[in-house]
Amino acid sequence: MIFRSKRAIGKLSRSRSSSRLRRSRSDYGILKRLGMIGLKLGLFGGALGIVIAFAVIAFYSRQLPDIDTISTYIPAETTKIYSVDGIILAELHQEENRIRIPIDTISPILQKSVIAMEDTDFWDHKGINIRGIFRALYRDIMAMAFVEGGSTLTQQLARNLFLEKQKKIERKIKEILMAVDIERKYTKTEILELYLNQVYWGHNAYGIESASQMYFGKKSKDLTLAESAGLVGMLNGPELFSPFRHFDRFKSRQRVVLGRLTELGIIDASQAEDAFNAQLLLAKRKKHRYKAGYFSSYVVDQLIEMYGEEAVYTSGMKVYTTLNYALQQHAEAVVSEYYAYGQKAFALKDGRVPSLNYNEAALLAVDPRNGYIVAMQGGVDFNESQFNRTVQANRQPGSAFKPFVYLAAFDKGFSPGTIVSDAPVTFNTTEGPYSPQNYTLTFSGNLPLRRALENSINVIAVKLNDLVGPKTVVSYAHKAGIQSPLTPVLSLPLGANEVTMLELTQSYMVFANYGKKVEPVSILRVDDRNGVPLYTHRFKESQVLDENLVATLVDTMRGIVDYGTGRGAKLPRPIAGKTGTTSDYKDAWFFGFVPQLVCATWVGNDDNDPMNGVTGGWVPAQMWKDFMKEALVGVPAQDFKAPKHMVKRRVNWETGLLASNATPEDAPVTIEKYWAGSEPTEFDTPEAIEKITIKANTSEKKERMVSDFFTM
């Protein structure tokens, strides 16, 4: 047995404690030395960082412009847009629409709104907002891209006046240095005044006074809360949120600003709601400086999308377009003439009317071989309405959509000479019975497809659509250039879906170009102020439809102008085209073409108010003819390609058989075209004629089944 005294135990315990103490002191010493090393490295790194920072500041400071010129700086670079025949269509520059005013003549609520939205800490910082910078840096890192700038009003002022717009670290450094320098040399009130006099507000308006007068026809000191909130809401996208172009977007941004003012306690919720509901009286647009306003505005929108607003209005670009200004002037005159034509009283079959009741018209002409837009008149008067009905209006095309149905039918084996019955029919659909009606509310009996298209027979077009399948028709329309969504319904051939004039014109360009598709183009080249090319259009085409199939369709469409609903557009040269009239006369169209030019015309009302009996074969066809007579001067007449693999046969419409000695003299007999191998081979016989006669005399039904579509 082993006995240990308490003392022995005590000695043992102290021995172990001493050992641990020695190790602790040793560890502490190591940590202390490491801490000192870390401290020295930190101090060295900090000092190095300071040195680098001062070096960067010194480096970029030498590159900064003179801040003292800030109050007198005026941009002087003008962007010019040219027509193909050398006419300057537009000159875009800032300084012609800037009115400088002192800050005490600017609405106080507008000043507060700008600060609330753009720089809440404006009165407290010294040019930069550290929290804002770190917040923006964090979001940039998370997005792995420059998504937020974190700029103060002072930084924005520096950037707008002296720096490029692209988000770069170098630009941000310069922006910060200039902002700090500006804050040293100018008071906060002076900076705010400079900002409000320089900032861009859309439509070539620079500064709050220009914007106030342009949008509301008043001085900026008289702006209301509702008007101020709307204007401030536009700042991060003046063209996108313009009340002239996108009033709904303008109102959306106005609500955002009012919400921010409420959040900061500048106004209360009741004031915000009253301001949002207040009626805004927009000023009447002054006469625009643009020539060919609709086309020039269309080009400007594209340039802004390509380069941004600031570059478009300040960089001095030279923009060369496809527009033929001589033809454009003629297009404007034709549209104006037929607008006046529609205001006169007319004696129609239903009685005398005081006018044709349409207030708008549009015309678009494009070269199908290269896609060049040579004339674009998007309305009666650009100064009255900048809404471009050639590219912005979604309208029902009416029967102008029918060629896609016939194209699909020809591809499925039907021929222009195939005989179809124009008789009453009812379809059972998920939405109930559907009985298509013809424009004349009458039925023509048996017709060749060629004749049905010439007279724009609705019933036959719907029957064809049902037989080939609406989805098939939609696929052909999309191939040809229709981009709008199309619902595959039975009424598709009657123009049930809405499209723009430009996209439907593009599809007719494919017809005129025998199945080759080219995109409509308005800008050929963009040079910078030194003549260095920034953009050059590259021609590109693709064969999207079978050439012979399209040639067959075009050959059939020629009859529309020669003998059918488009006779009002007839000229002494080969022409193909199609009329379009929607239900209740809300839209009237004519799309016509020669191999060198496609032209579309339209009349109607923006509010869809019905016209008084206006059809596509009347006013739009005459507009088309008057424009094309001038447009085709000096352009040689050129025939369309004849379709291949077709044979001609003399047929009796009533029987669908070859005419013979037995065919009655008063029978409808014509020479029709068929795909080789599908032509009729049997001749009229007394038995066949008798059978058709008995059927016609005994049939009293107003509706027939699909099995009766085609004659025996």
Catalytic residue positions, numbered:
118, 399
CB 597 within 8 A of CB 637: no
**What does DSSP say about strands 79-82 and 318-321: parallel, antiparallel, or unpaired?**
parallel
* Strand (E) or helix (H) holding 604: strand 597-604
Phi, psi of 5 (to 5 degrees): -80, 165
318 Cβ partners below 8 Å, 6+ apart? 79, 80, 82, 526, 527, 528, 529, 531
Closest Cα to residue 126, out of 161, 172, 177, 164? 177
DSSP-assigned states of every residue in 122-154: TTTSSS--HHHHHHHHHHHHHHTS-------HH
* Strand (E) or helix (H) holding 304: helix 293-307
Distance CA 695, CA 706 (A): 16
Phi, psi of 257 (to 5 degrees): -65, -45
Q: Which residues of 86-119 are buried (b: 16+ CB within 10 A; e: fewer)?
A: ebebbebbbeebbbebebeebbebbbbbbbbbbb
What single letter denotes the amino acid at residue 671?
I
Give, in order, the Cα–Cα distances in Å from 403 to each of 409, 560, 638.
10, 11, 22
Tokens (6 digits) for 702: 């107003």
* 650 strand-pairing partners: 671
Largest CA distance in the chain: 147
Where do we find the tokens 């509706």?
Answer: 703
| CA 143 to chain centroid | 29
For 541, the 3-state DSSP assignment is strand
What single letter denotes the amino acid at residue 48?
L
Rounded (10°) CA dihedral 237, 242, 247, 250: 40
For 254, the 3-state DSSP assignment is helix
Task: Indicate the DSSP class of residue 651.
Answer: E
* Strand (E) or helix (H) holding 92: strand 88-92
Distance CA 325, CA 119 (A): 46
